[in-house]
Structure 1
Amino acid sequence: MGFRRKSSKPAASVSGTVSSENRQPSLHRVRLPVDLLKPGMRVVKLDRPWTEVPVLFQGFTLADDAQARILRQHCEWVLVEDEEAALHAVLDEVADRKARTTRPLSETQPLAEELPRARQAWSRTQNFVEKVTRDIEAGNDLNLDDARPVLQQCVASIKANAGAMFWVSRIKHREAYTAEHCLRVAIFSIAFARFLGMPDGDLETIGVCGLLHDLGKLRVPDHILNKPGALSPDEFRIMREHTSHGYELLKADQGLDPIVADVTLHHHERMDGRGYPQQLAEWQISRFARLISIVDAFDAITSDRCYRDGLPTSEAIRILYRNRGQQFDAGMVEAFIRMIGIYPAGSLVELNTGEVALVVATHPGRKLSPRVEILLDARKQPVTPRILDLSETSSEDGHQREIAGGLPDGAYGMSLEDRIRQLTKDNAYNV
């Protein structure tokens, strides 16, 4: 992302000179990422037409974070104008922001200690989704008041150790795809937003967007939603209507941030204008909708569906990368790949030593050398689990440990779900 400054000329006196008393402060214009906006900054230009963002004025001084939040939801950068001294401090944050997507997500808790809370957060959120599903199917009034509170614990867990929520979310059940898909999109969207440097206050909102983005599918007939074969053109048209159904369900809820309905309607729009339902141009698609569309696609590709088995993470990454700039926001795709890694947290892998391990956490700058937990030795015999950073450790014979390849869950009797149970069975958070 480039940054440019533009100085305005000082106001001149009638005589053509500038007196020390009448000299106006020198103003500079700087292009800033929206996440660095602060109250008091004057916004003079957006990365899209003003009419595409729900603000009252074209060019205004930010009065509070509520106005900045709207810009964060829709834009990626803005042009601000202020005195050089006032901008100097925020410009110092730009370099750190660029560097943060080359660093792992910070952790304040070891994975084993965070897993119990992650399981509880997942269970509570799942119960919420199931209740919403029953209410819609029964024709009851929709009550979404608990959406944000149930996600607060997810946010807290992800901030403590995202790997714990990643582990829990990898336990998938084909018959519960729609509900679990919404949960996973919420979890990965929160983590991705944090990875990008979005303020903590936006994490719950992006989580609600992910949790409710496919709500409209509950209005799609089961014989189409769960059809084991390819959809006919008419069936596909009905399936695509889920975005509009979801929008209609959400737009009337005054308690929800309007961006939630926007994302529900637009998460299948494309950068090249060939998406649906409105064939929006790139600059018309909100930042939050762009983010959710990437996470939504990644989980759909890697999950077992009624009509096919999920593809490996490596293939999903290739698909996302191949479609960057056409279907997906290019910069976001590249950042998402850095966060998720080639072997995401919770993946079972075999090392070049013959040892078998579970991936604990990835490193954006070292995609093939994550942190792992060794479970089996070279003879495939159980060992006391220990965590190693593959970028730093060597085997006993002096050779660098590397991942030889991924393994299916359950290989050599090693199951992620069993390992989670082992780590949480004696903890009070266990559910």
Structure 2
Amino acid sequence: MWFRRKTSKPLPRKPIARSQAGLFDPDGHSAIQRVRLPVDLITPGMRVIKLDRPWTEVPVLFQGFTIQDSTQARILRQYCEWVLVEGEEKLLSSALDKVSLHKKRTASPMPEIRPLAEEMPRASEAWSKTQNFVEQVIRDIEQGNDLNLQAARPIIRECVESIKANASAMFWMSRIKSRDAYTAEHCLRVAIFTVAFARFLGMPDEDLEIAGMCGLLHDLGKLKVPQEILNKPGALSSDEFAIMQEHTTFGYELLSADPNLDPIIRDVTRHHHERMDGRGYPEQLEEWQISRFARVVSIVDAFDAMTSDRCYRDGIPASDAIRVLYRNRGQQFDAELVEAFIRMVGIYPPGTLVELTTGEVALIVSVHPGKKLKPRVEILLDAEKNAVTPRTIDLAKPVLGEQPEIVQPLPDGAYGISLHERIQQLITDRRVYPS
């Protein structure tokens, strides 16, 4: 068992750098180097000298150790952003060669292995399986049954494979929302966006499944909160808010009943409402005490909560939610992660219906981190709002004549265009005309 000690002195946060110091053998030849590395680049054989937080904040047995296997490296990736490591120059050179590329990891779109239309059937199936799992967990909690949380792993694995092939397919699925099924769909959407965000940040593939589990299970504790508080349309009283805050502890206790769950999943469930300024809950942790995965999920959780319809209010547009995240970076949310998240989802996330300066109506297909206002779109209606054969264009690429731009986002269903119907059409077309 490990404990967080709020009295530990935090280490100063520094930008990731390639600072290194050579240690020399008796002949004066460089034998060992020390270098501060992004945690995603560490490998077995490197000796960990220092973390970006006190050792007491990470569930490791020793303060200073040589990484023996992928499990130890994975634990450091879940909690830290950078570490100081020591090793022979030959061992470190490969990682050092990747530092520059790693810094630019959020400046390029995620690779697409399969076209959106080709990936959509698999994404839809994975979405349905995951939604069914969450709904079953909700029923089990309500009925007091034992939870089979391990059953989520192969389901999340399918979501991971779909996101790796083309994340926009899952992003499209996440845009279809029901206010009557908020809890189940919220957990599912947070899982999907967490996996995609982890991949966008450059985390190794082996971390994506656990990241998805963190997102999927982060809010289960809300099922223990009375419905009259959870769905209250007005402001909560101080007593009601105190009960609402207990959902992080309720969730932690639910997950603690399964000793086979990775500890970071419980950590995220308990701490995804902690804040960088120390004013979060339930423990008012300071910035350096909040794990990397909890920081990631807190951003995704807030974004989905703001943009989703509830039984007592409508969600706000994604562009407004992005402004809220940006305004609260460094206070409520990790500043660097907020900026990376905005680069991933864009101003108009995939699946958003928009109107162009040409009068045409289109769906956002994918976004480019460096060209937030110029995504790839699928044209569905012409300037007179008549249906046309769908065609995809990249707004960032010059065209002859008028260069189309986005005028405004449109609500789903505008001009008779339904995202759900377009998804079903793509799925049907793939079944009728398989590749």
The alignment's TM-score, normalised by the length of structure 1, stands at 0.95
| DSSP 3-state at the match of 1:81 | strand
Pairing 1:21-420 to 2, within 5 Å after superposition = 25-394=30-399, 398-420=401-423
Asked if the contact 2:353/2:361 (under 8 Å) is kept, the reply is: yes
CA distance in 1, matches of 2:170, 2:115: 12
Offset of 1:261 from its aligned partner? 0.5
CA distance in 2, matches of 1:108, 1:411: 31
The count of residues paired between Structure 1 and Structure 2 equals 418
CA distance in 2, matches of 1:419, 1:188: 21
Unmatched segments (≥5 aa) in structure 1? 12-17
Offset of 1:49 from its aligned partner? 0.2
Offset of 1:404 from its aligned partner? 1.1
Asked if the contact 1:7/1:26 (under 8 Å) is kept, the reply is: no
CA distance in 2, matches of 1:252, 1:74: 22
CA distance in 2, matches of 1:79, 1:124: 41
CA distance in 1, matches of 2:31, 2:69: 24
1:3 counterpart = 2:6: no
Offset of 1:287 from its aligned partner? 0.4
Asked if the contact 2:45/2:87 (under 8 Å) is kept, the reply is: no
Asked if the contact 2:21/2:35 (under 8 Å) is kept, the reply is: no
CA distance in 1, matches of 2:24, 2:418: 69
Offset of 1:29 from its aligned partner? 1.4
| DSSP 3-state at the match of 2:21 | coil
Q: Percent identity?
A: 70
CA distance in 2, matches of 1:53, 1:245: 22
Asked if the contact 1:374/1:385 (under 8 Å) is kept, the reply is: yes
Residue type of the partner of 1:250?
A: L
| DSSP 3-state at the match of 2:316 | coil
| DSSP 3-state at the match of 2:75 | helix
Residue type of the partner of 2:24?
A: P
CA distance in 2, matches of 1:9, 1:99: 30
CA distance in 1, matches of 2:20, 2:388: 62
CA distance in 1, matches of 2:23, 2:267: 41
- The 1:315–1:176 alpha-carbon spacing in structure 2 relative to 1, beyond 3 Å, is same
Offset of 1:405 from its aligned partner? 1.2
- The 1:9–1:135 alpha-carbon spacing in structure 2 relative to 1, beyond 3 Å, is closer
Residue type of the partner of 2:387?
A: P
Residue type of the partner of 2:95?
A: V
| DSSP 3-state at the match of 1:386 | strand
CA distance in 2, matches of 1:428, 1:123: 17
Offset of 1:195 from its aligned partner? 0.2
Offset of 1:426 from its aligned partner? 4.7
Offset of 1:8 from its aligned partner? 4.5
CA distance in 2, matches of 1:180, 1:42: 42
CA distance in 2, matches of 1:321, 1:176: 28
Which 4+ stretches in 1 moved above 4 angstroms?
426-429
| DSSP 3-state at the match of 1:7 | strand
The aligned residue for residue 3 of structure 2 is none
Of stretches 81-90 and 64-73 in structure 1, the one that deviates more from structure 2 is: 81-90
Residue type of the partner of 1:2?
A: I
| DSSP 3-state at the match of 1:384 | strand
| DSSP 3-state at the match of 1:91 | helix
Asked if the contact 1:393/1:401 (under 8 Å) is kept, the reply is: no
Structure with bigger gyration radius? 1
Offset of 1:26 from its aligned partner? 3.1
Residue type of the partner of 2:372?
A: K
CA distance in 1, matches of 2:328, 2:193: 20
CA distance in 2, matches of 1:221, 1:24: 67
CA distance in 1, matches of 2:97, 2:161: 28
CA distance in 2, matches of 1:85, 1:136: 52
| DSSP 3-state at the match of 2:373 | coil
Residue type of the partner of 2:260?
A: G
The alignment's TM-score, normalised by the length of structure 2, stands at 0.94
The alignment's C-alpha RMSD in Å is: 1.4
Residues 205-256 of structure 1 show CA distances to partners (whole Å, capped at 9, x for unaligned) of: 0000000000001111111111222211111111110000000010221221
Residue type of the partner of 2:405?
A: E
CA distance in 2, matches of 1:305, 1:183: 16
Residues 87-116 of structure 1 show CA distances to partners (whole Å, capped at 9, x for unaligned) of: 222111111111221111100111011111
Residues 172-206 of structure 1 show CA distances to partners (whole Å, capped at 9, x for unaligned) of: 00111111000000000000000000000000100
- The 1:281–1:327 alpha-carbon spacing in structure 2 relative to 1, beyond 3 Å, is same
